[in-house]
Structure 1
């Protein structure tokens, strides 16, 4: 059931991403108000990304299983591990998707129906 205190969520991801599509369908089905932000079309805000990296969920933002990660050189991977912000800004497809927020609070990195159900 929708928590009435929750005005609406922001879903950040890439429209072609299966996990992002599943999350959007999940929210639509439950009539949870939300806004979608596509990294490919709209980019990612550096200040927002920095806040995410500093949050408790920050360590989960880098998707080291992605095709983009596998395409990076070892030097680029090391730089990303040392300071992920510049790499994530340059390659937003490295951000694990979706990132679901309520205001400035990250609720979910990736999509888990059971976890998200707890928030709504």
Structure 2
């Protein structure tokens, strides 16, 4: 299991705390320390779609031009990984985005 995000993100902290409290092993990958490669990001997009993957409430998103907001690309997202909603949790063939205890309860 792999969790992608940014270590100082509050939602990441909650998700990590939940997984650790339930002794669920995972590898944490910080976008800033280990940038995503294009194929990994493409797999997220293929599974989730841009609408689910992009955090439209982020400062990074709000600072994009209207043209960029309507034309999110792999290149733009790779350059600005904080556009990605966090965390992205990859469990085998499943990819989920965001965190809530309810949504993670099936991992226990």
Relative to the length of structure 2, the TM-score reads 0.92
1:105 and 1:32 map into 2 onto residues whose CA distance is 16
Query: Over aligned residues, Cα RMSD in angstroms?
Result: 1.2
1:79 to 55, 58, 71: 71
Larger radius of gyration: 1
Question: Offset at 1:65?
Answer: 0.7
Residue matched to 1:118? 106
Q: Distance in 2 between matches of 1:104 and 1:90?
A: 26
Segments of structure 1 that go 5 or more residues without pairing to the other structure are 1-8
Describe the SS at the equivalent of 1:100: strand
Structure 1's consecutive aligned runs of 4 or more residues displaced over 2 angstroms after TM superposition are none
For residues 1-120 of structure 1, what are the structure 2 equivalents within 5 Å?
9-55=1-47, 57-58=48-49, 59-80=51-72, 84-106=73-95, 108-120=96-108
- Deviation string, structure 1 residues 2-42 (Cα, Å, up to 9, x no partner): xxxxxxx2110000110011000101111101100000111
CA deviation string 1:82-118 (max 9, x = no partner):
xx32221111000000001113420x20001111111
Q: How many residues align?
A: 107
Which stretches in structure 2 are left out of the alignment for 5+ residues?
Answer: none
TM-score norm. by structure 1 comes to 0.83
